Amino acid sequence: MTVTLPDGARREIPAGTPAGRLLEEALGPKRAKRLVLARVDGELRDLAAPLHDGAAVEGVFAGDEAALETLRHTAAHVLAQAVQELFPGTKLGIGPAIENGFYYDFDRETPFTPEDLERIEERMAEIIRAGEPVTRRDLSMDEARRFFAGRGEAYKLELLDDLAREGHESVSVYEQGGFADLCRGPHLPHTGHVAAVRLLHTAGAYWRGDEKRPMLQRIYGTAFFDAKALKRHLKHLEEARKRDHRRLGKELDLFSIQDEVGPGLILWHPRGAALRRAIEDFWREEHRRRGYGMLFTPHIARRDLWKTSGHLDFYAESMYAPMEIDEVRYQIKPMNCPFHIAVYNSRRRSYRELPLRWCELGTVYRYERTGTLHGLMRVRGFTQDDAHVFCRPDQLEGEIDAILDMTLYMLRVFGFDRYDIYLSTRPEKYVGTEDNWERATGALRSALERRGLAFEVDPGEGVFYGPKIDIKIRDCLDRSWQCSTIQVDFNLPERFEVRYAGEDSRPHAPIMIHRALLGSLERFIGVLIEHYAGAFPLWLAPVQCRVLTVTDRHDAWAAEVAERLTAAGFRAETDLRNEKLGRKIRDAQVEKVPYMLVVGDRETADRTVSPRRHKGETLEALSLDEFVSLLETECRRPFTEAAAA
């Protein structure tokens, strides 16, 4: 048979030749040492994978970004091998590679301890040093069932049953040493390529993510091709731990999640509420300035509303059980869009009224499994910064342009100027016509291209009613967070018979644009906390100024200063405790208050304040008017800089 190498050279080789053998001959001994995978017709394959006639083949080497996921997948198998050798009788769950690492789930009665992790990591190092070959076997379903039944792997048997129901007639098993796992691969050729590995922590994980199933023990780890990369990553993880919004939320007294209330439900404390209020006030004013009207809608409605919208067909598993009121089934709302459509349909509309732009900070409720809840990032009740635009076809591109402009401006104000943009296209399950989907996708694509914004196409990731633009912001640690989304919808207006009277006096269906700029306030605030490590810019800080007295004879002037600052619209408080000034300063720094105003004999006599910034910089004494002017200038700066960008 004939295959093609990366340089375009064509080679005739015996049928069934492994990819690795061909590449080793083509590359030479020196380069072949770093060879870990083959890319065959664009897909990663084991080096032992037999080639087919006409294949395009290239090598993937240790250290290549493309090989990292496979490295971590192999590391997960090394972890599982070490656990079963050290703790006989432990049953295997699943062990995938994930972003920046891997995990494996185990069924073992005794919890893993930190000392156990050390032992496991030591055994993994031995397996890696041994460079044990990783080999693949293809088995029929019956062979695979006998194989894993003989090893007592009940969870693997369940996975095999699922694969059989999907129509698979055979599966692959990967083995190294005495270890074997059900896996589709690919894998590195031997364990020695897992050069740098570290186990991180353990967690509980329900089997298949279902809290009604057994709770397994999950061991997380990370792996790299070299020790320097591992060291950099561990340093990054340590910085992320310091910024964890759950820890900072408690330390800064911003919010809490309490068992008495329920998991995934957020209690905003006064300081967290002040932060949220600053965000909401900016959000509302910016929407008013750009021509949006504010809506308020109920938290429940007749369940038939979501039957008409189609959400019951696509998202029922994320909706809470209905309640019965006056023998009618009601639903706690999982999204706001049907309400906004109801407002539109409350009277006849003319083409002259369009576009109609309506927004709402609407709290919605969605069922999330207990094991997936994570602080503010994944909750059961959250507030969407939701908006819907109803427009004519000739207005569509202009409205998308305006939404993009608003989105990027608001993200810059919050300090996010790096992001990745994705254009998500039609999924397998969708409603509406292909023509409408093409029109909607084309409008989104054109808007991005007109602004010169780089984007990637994300095939099949649109929502059931239309394509969308997703913007994922990057924080100071270069982590990616999904926030903004813009979705074009030709379908819900049809399902709800949304119409306007056109110039021809005939009824026409408007186009509906769904959009959220921040996503959910809960998640966005969690991202903000971690991005700024709790040290928010002045305009966002829950407490912007704290007045610190040297002795109690300065209390009256301190109270007057705080009152004046509050009257000027700033969030100020006093610290009148009978403590040393150094203690008061340290406490304010720990609480990340942007400005500490020291008030002593001189300040009281001169009716001034001596500002000290959070990072330790001390300013000269200022009059109150001068200090208020300084605060106003600093609060305006993010907005003027965002507008100028």
* 102 neighbors 75 (Cβ within 8 angstroms): yes
pLDDT in tens, 331-348: 999 999 999 999 999 999
pLDDT of residue 211: 80
Look at residue 256 and tell me if it is in a domain: no
- With 80 as the cut, is the pLDDT of residue 38 above it? yes
Among 532, 562, 594, the domain-final residue is: 532
C-beta pairs of 600-605 under 8 Å, 24+ apart in sequence: 600/549, 600/550, 600/551, 600/554, 601/550, 601/553, 601/554, 603/554, 603/557, 604/553, 604/554, 604/557
Per DSSP, the residues of 571-591 read -EEEE--SS-HHHHHHHHHHT
Q: Do 452 and 517 fall within a single domain?
A: yes
* 79 CB burial (10 A radius; 0-12, 13-18, 19+): buried
- The pLDDT-based confidence of 635 (bands split at 50, 70, 90) is very high
Look at residue 520 and tell me if it is in a domain: yes
Q: Do 471 and 598 fall within a single domain?
A: no
Interatomic CA distance for residues 426 and 440, integer angstroms: 10
> Which is the catalytic residue, given 340, 514, 523, 554?
514
Dmax (CA) of the chain: 96
Determine how many CB atoms are found less than 10 A away from the CB of residue 554.
20
Look at residue 538 and tell me if it is in a domain: no
pLDDT in tens, 100-147: 999 999 999 999 999 999 999 999 999 999 999 999 999 999 999 999
> Which is the catalytic residue, given 366, 426, 546, 584?
366
For the domain that residue 31 is a member of, what is the CATH number?
A: 3.10.20.30
For the domain that residue 426 is a member of, what is the CATH number?
A: 3.30.930.10
Q: Do 568 and 629 fall within a single domain?
A: yes
For the domain that residue 567 is a member of, what is the CATH number?
A: 3.40.50.800
Q: Do 71 and 56 fall within a single domain?
A: no
- The pLDDT-based confidence of 434 (bands split at 50, 70, 90) is confident
> Which is the catalytic residue, given 385, 386, 489, 575?
386
Q: Do 350 and 428 fall within a single domain?
A: yes
pLDDT of residue 228: 93
Token pair 């049809």 in the structure block, residue = 494
Average pLDDT over residues 345-358: 97
* Percentage of residues of the chain with pLDDT beyond 90: 85
Among 499, 532, 565, the domain-final residue is: 532
Q: Do 55 and 130 fall within a single domain?
A: no
The yes-or-no answer on residue 514 being catalytic is yes
- With 90 as the cut, is the pLDDT of residue 317 above it? no
pLDDT of residue 200: 96
Q: Is 311 annotated as a binding residue?
A: no
User: What is the rounded average pLDDT for all residues in the chain?
Assistant: 94
Token pair 């769950």 in the structure block, residue = 93
Domain that includes residue 315, residue range = 267-532
For the domain that residue 131 is a member of, what is the CATH number?
A: 3.30.980.10
- The pLDDT-based confidence of 429 (bands split at 50, 70, 90) is confident
Interatomic CA distance for residues 309 and 318, integer angstroms: 15
Q: Is 388 annotated as a binding residue?
A: yes
Among 503, 532, 561, the domain-final residue is: 532
* 319 neighbors 312 (Cβ within 8 angstroms): yes
The yes-or-no answer on residue 386 being catalytic is yes
- The pLDDT-based confidence of 49 (bands split at 50, 70, 90) is very high
Token pair 């990292």 in the structure block, residue = 68
The yes-or-no answer on residue 384 being catalytic is yes
> Which is the catalytic residue, given 183, 337, 359, 635?
337
E strand segments, 290-346: 293-294, 300-302, 323-325, 328-332
Q: Do 46 and 89 fall within a single domain?
A: no
Q: Do 228 and 375 fall within a single domain?
A: no
Q: Do 55 and 73 fall within a single domain?
A: no
Give me the number of domains the chain comprises. 4
Helix/strand/coil for 272:
helix
- With 90 as the cut, is the pLDDT of residue 432 above it? no
Q: Is 545 annotated as a binding residue?
A: no
Look at residue 251 and tell me if it is in a domain: no
- With 90 as the cut, is the pLDDT of residue 491 above it? no
Look at residue 354 and tell me if it is in a domain: yes
Helix/strand/coil for 428:
coil
Look at residue 605 and tell me if it is in a domain: yes
Look at residue 274 and tell me if it is in a domain: yes
pLDDT of residue 609: 95
Q: Do 78 and 55 fall within a single domain?
A: no
Look at residue 259 and tell me if it is in a domain: no
429's CB contacts (< 8 A; 6+ apart) are 314, 464
- With 80 as the cut, is the pLDDT of residue 364 above it? yes
pTM for the model stands at 0.85
The yes-or-no answer on residue 615 being catalytic is no
The yes-or-no answer on residue 366 being catalytic is yes
Q: Do 486 and 578 fall within a single domain?
A: no
> Which is the catalytic residue, given 81, 331, 384, 395?
384
Q: Do 358 and 416 fall within a single domain?
A: yes
User: Between β-strands 456-458 and 419-424, what pairing exists: parallel, antiparallel or unpaired?
Assistant: parallel
Average pLDDT over residues 543-551: 96
Closest C-alpha to 104, from 112, 113, 95 = 95
Average pLDDT over residues 551-569: 96
Q: Read off φ and ψ for residue 185, nearest 5 degrees.
A: 75, -165
pLDDT in tens, 149-173: 999 999 999 999 999 999 999 999 9
